[in-house]
Amino acid sequence: MDKFDVTVIGSGPGGYVAAIRCAQLGMKTAIIERYSTLGGTCLNVGCIPSKALLDSSEHYHNALKNFGKHGIETDGVRLNWPGMLGRKDDVVGQTCSGVEYLMKKNEIKVIHGHGSFETNQKVLVQGEDGSNISVETENVIIATGSKPSSIPGVQIDKQRIITSTEALKLAEIPQKMVVIGGGIIGLELGSVYSRLGTEVQVVEYLDRLIPSMDGSLGKEMLRTLKKQGIQFFLSHAVQEAKNFGDKVVVKALNKKEQEVEFDADYCLVAVGRRPYTEGLNLNAAGLEIDEKGRVPVDENLQTQTPGIYAIGDVVRGAMLAHKAEEEGVFVAEVIAGEKPHINYRNIPSVLYTWPEAAGVGFTEEELISEERPYKSGSFPFRALGRARAAMETDGLVKILADPDTDEILGVHMMGARIADLIAEAVVALEYRASAEDLSRMSHAHPTFAEAVKEAALDATAKRPLHL
Ligand code: FAD
Ligand code: NAI
């Protein structure tokens, strides 16, 4: 095999996007993936299958609970769980094949097998069939992603004490599920099973949900998801989880240090993810991981060894697919001698429950802790004509702005369709818009987006029109 300009290890959204951009820039590129399908966590066991199940379970839930209110009778609605899982698998299959097609189209050499460093310019690929291929390369991009983590006392056995990966393909709908962690995965997959009829109990260590997002969203989400039937146990520190064969028992200490016991068919452990570098033989390339297991990188995402870069979940920053993608493009352009830029503050995060939650820029808590002055404006969905027409009145948009310059500092939303609406806020932040700029732009009527305009009016001059 000829020497490659760039070899990417890992084909998740970071790796495969980096490979495409390298190829677009004229570099001879290889990508190494240990699994038989491309796409990494996101396409195989993350973003795509979870959203497929979120959408399907939402249709089922609406048919049971909400269609009647629209004047649509739906007697005899039945759940076909294998059918729902089958559709999810089809979506995953199509999406992964799409990446394969993109590799071919861009003439990227795909090598299946486990990659590990022999030297800083040589990567050994060990195939499942026992084959060994040595790949010579000028540059390497480490894009090996992350794996679920756990907590002391909780041993994941993948049978009853499970991670998101198993939760995406359970053979049965559980009667009861305990979810450890009220973060993003806990609420998304907790919602899926709650909608399908499972009694879901979320046990969270902190006194709030989704701690990575603005506090107002956690509060609203708690209220809304409780209404949907999910039970929450905040300020509970899980001590242990045990599989008793036909059930699992989880023990936690509440605020008063009293032991609280939960039993269920399954315990979903959703307490975060850890960077994955096992078997990479980083030493051979002169590399070490940091105290959190991440590959340390500089502002160019280059490791301490020149020519070796790292991106996505395996490096510092948010563990998000679109963050990994931006870094993939960034590194390819750095290698090509360009001067790209990523504004990490403007990377949005989205929670795909229903209603959805999303945010970008500073949270209110961050501004307070940095002692940075700010003003705030908000607008509730219940005052929107579109929200009433759609029967989607839970939600709000909150805009944080600089009190002197009016520059938007952060936008946080909860409500129907805001996973897409947050893009407007990203544009505003990227172009350093003021709240007044947003408030003077025409927003189509009736839309959910009108809440952005109204919240901007509230932030800039305390004069919303429809409140
Ligand atoms: P990964 O996608 O983890 O890919 C790494 C790849 O490297 C894997 O395919 C792995 O097999 C391969 N690999 C590792 N080591 C080696 C080796 N030595 N040799 C060869 N190959 C190797 N993010 C969002 O932005 N939106 C969402 O909606 C979302 N939903 C999620 C839902 C769930 C249930 C989960 C678990 C995650 C979700 N995420 C979401 C997070 C998202 O999946 C990750 O941030 C993203 O996949 C990170 O991309 P990556 O390229 O860094 O790594
Ligand atoms: P997370 O960091 O979002 O949430 C973990 C939660 O577990 C936190 O609320 C934390 O306080 C809690 N916790 C920690 N220890 C605990 C204990 N002992 N007892 C009870 N609770 C405890 O992590 P999560 O949900 O596992 O997701 C992992 C990553 O995957 C996230 O970083 C997220 O960015 C990414 N992801 C993104 C999605 C999206 O963009 N929509 C969807 C799913 C995952």
Per-residue model confidence (pLDDT) at position 1: 77
User: Is residue 17 within 8 Å of 8, Cβ to Cβ?
Assistant: no
Comparing 4-148+274-344 with 355-461, is the CATH topology the same?
Answer: no
CB 96 within 8 A of CB 35: no
Tens digit of each residue's pLDDT (9 = 90 or more) over 327-340: 999 999 999 999 99
Around 355, how many Cα atoms within 13 Å sit in the side-chain half-sphere?
29
Q: If DSSP codes are grouped into helix, strand and coil, which group holds residue 445?
A: coil
Supply the residue whose CA is at minimum distance from atom 33 of ligand 2.
Answer: 319
Phi and psi, residue 19, nearest 5°: -65, -45
Which residue has a Cα nearest atom 44 of ligand 2?
185
The answer to whether the CB of 181 is under 6 A from ligand 1 is no
Give me the pLDDT at residue 266, please: 98
| Ligand 2 atom closest to residue 320's alpha carbon, by position in its atom list | 34
Tell whether ligand 1 has an atom less than 6 A from the beta carbon of residue 40.
yes
Which CATH code of 3.40.1170.10, 3.30.390.30, 3.40.50.1100, 3.30.300.160 fits the domain covering 355-461?
Answer: 3.30.390.30
CB atoms within 10 A of CB 417: 18
Does residue 202 contact residue 233 with C-beta atoms inside 8 Å?
yes
Q: What whole-number distance in Å separates Cα of residue 95 and Cα of residue 40?
A: 11
**How many angstroms separate the most distant Cα atoms in the chain?**
69
Top mutation candidate among 161, 164, 166, 184 for ligand 2, by most atoms within 8 Å of CB: 184
Active-site residue set: 445
Residue pair 350/356 in contact by the 8 Å Cβ criterion:
yes
Question: Up-side HSE of residue 196: CA atoms within 13 Å toward CB?
Answer: 25
State which ligand 1 atom lies nearest to the alpha carbon of 189: 34
Q: Does the beta carbon of 316 sit less than 6 angstroms from any atom of ligand 1?
A: no
Give the number of whichever ligand sits closest to the CA of residue 13: 1
Separation between Cα atoms, residue 299 and residue 320, nearest integer Å: 18
3.40.50.920, 3.50.50.60, 3.30.9.10, 3.30.530.20: CATH of 161-271: 3.50.50.60
Q: 347 C-alpha vs ligand 1 centroid, how far in Å?
A: 17
| CATH topology for the 4-148+274-344 domain | FAD/NAD(P)-binding domain (3.50.50)
- Enter the pTM of the model: 0.97
Ligand nearest to the CA of 12: 1
The ranges assigned to domains in the chain are 4-148+274-344, 161-271, 355-461
User: Do 408 and 401 form a contact (C-beta atoms < 8 A)?
Assistant: yes
Identity of the amino acid at 11: S
Helix (H, G, I), strand (E, B) or coil at 372: coil
| Candidate of 47, 54, 192 to mutate for ligand 1, largest count of ligand atoms within 8 Å of Cβ | 47
pLDDT in tens, the chain (467 residues): 789 999 999 999 999 999 999 999 999 999 999 999 999 999 999 999 999 999 999 999 999 999 999 999 999 999 999 999 999 999 999 999 999 999 999 999 999 999 999 999 999 999 999 999 999 999 999 999 999 999 999 999 999 999 999 999 999 999 999 999 999 999 999 999 999 999 999 999 999 999 999 999 999 999 999 999 999 999 999 999 999 999 999 999 999 999 999 999 999 999 999 999 999 999 999 999 999 999 999 999 999 999 999 999 999 999 999 999 999 999 999 999 999 999 999 999 999 999 999 999 999 999 999 999 999 999 999 999 999 999 999 999 999 999 999 999 999 999 999 999 999 999 999 999 999 999 999 999 999 999 999 999 999 999 999 98
* Residues whose CB falls within 8 Å of the CB of residue 177, separated by 6 or more in sequence, listed in order: 190, 193, 198, 199, 200, 201, 264, 265, 266, 267, 268
Q: Alpha-carbon Rg of the chain, whole angstroms?
A: 23
Picking from 157, 220, 191, the residue whose alpha carbon sits closest to that of residue 50 is: 191
**How far away, in angstroms, is 170 Cα from ligand 2 center?**
20
Mutate to test the pocket of ligand 2, among 50, 205, 234 (most ligand atoms within 8 A of CB): 205
8 Å CB contact between 93 and 14? no
Unique residue bearing structure tokens 């051979």: 284
